[in-house]
Amino acid sequence: MKTEDFSFCSRRNMLAGTAMFALGGVAGCSADEGPVMAEAPPLPWKWVPLDPLEAGRRAFRMYPDPVRGGCGSGAYLSILSLLKEQVGYPWTTLPDLMMSHAAAGYGGHGTLCGSLGGASCIINLVAYGLGENGQIFRQMIDRLYYWYAKQEFPTDRFDDISEMPGQIRVQAMSPLCHTSVSKWAMAAGAEISSKAKKERCAKVCGEVVYIVVHAMNEYFEGRWTPPKWEPSAEIAHCIDCHGPDDMWHSKPSLNHQQGHMECMLCHTDHTKKGQKG
């Protein structure tokens, strides 16, 4: 399959589906009742080693597609398309447009970057219930989000296929679309509707997918260890009072927050004279 070809219903998949219909493993079909789908198998679903660069390039190229595009669909579909090709069922049962709503921070609201949402969906399907106490999927997603916040986007990984190589790089600071995009747009002097911004976000989508596929490959090869989250020096004193890493707070009177985002994005340093959090 060529990188540019994003037709997910290949002849091979159709034939495989037909064979499973005959065996009664996936679905039956009645002229009166229509298709009758079998129940989805329990999680986790099968993962096979994938090419991170190929997955990332698919995400980059999918981003501008008027139907299957955007950051949420690009991240989700790029990985899903490879799993449909290389694994088949049950990945072939998932709808292509399931993550369309995640574009522009979910419905255009500027919340979570859709690339993170689309990729997290795949992580959950593959890693749910694995690892110590069945929590590896949470650790993977958490690690992905604070990697994103520290990353200077866009990287140059896809500059060889980009119309705008060498774009200015700006630290995202947050997994939120609003923060990530707005900080970059102001630094680049670019409007949100500009080609430059769209090219930047296509590269972000590709980079997220690349990192996720690389991590999943390492995990199933037994080479991935979830790193422990460490707060930055600027917020270490915040976390010390308002919640440890496990978010089960030992100081009930200060049980005010959960999460691993940087506090100073929204709060001032109340430990400094004359400032309140």
pLDDT at 22: 38
- Residue 21 forms part of a structural domain: no
The pLDDT score that the predictor gives to residue 39 is 77
| Domain match, 93 and 178 both | yes
Residues 267 and 149 placed together within one structural domain of the fold: no
List the domain range (segments joined by +) for residue 269.
230-277
Q: Do 131 and 259 fall into the same domain?
A: no
Residue 261: per-residue pLDDT: 57
Which pLDDT does position 132 carry in this prediction? 84
Pair (185, 243) in one structural domain: no
Residue 215 lies in a domain: yes
Domains in the chain, number: 2
Distance CA(63)–CA(70), nearest Å, equals 5
C-alpha span between 225 and 191 (Å, rounded): 40
Partners of 142 in beta bridges:
none
Give yes or no: residues 78 and 152 share one domain.
Answer: yes
CB 122 within 8 A of CB 129: no
Same domain assignment for residues 93 and 171: yes
Same structural domain, 178 and 149: yes
**Do 255 and 204 share a domain, yes or no?**
no
Residue 24 lies in a domain: no
**Residue-level pLDDT, tens digit, the chain, 277 residues:** 343 333 333 434 433 443 443 334 444 443 455 555 667 899 999 999 999 999 999 999 999 999 989 999 999 999 999 999 999 999 999 999 999 999 999 999 999 999 999 999 999 999 999 998 898 999 999 999 989 999 999 999 999 999 999 999 999 999 999 999 999 999 999 999 999 999 999 999 999 999 999 999 999 999 987 766 666 666 666 666 666 555 544 455 555 555 565 655 655 666 665 555 5
137 touches 124 (CB < 8 A): yes
Using the 3D structure, point to which of 179, 197, 220 is the last residue of a domain. Answer: 220
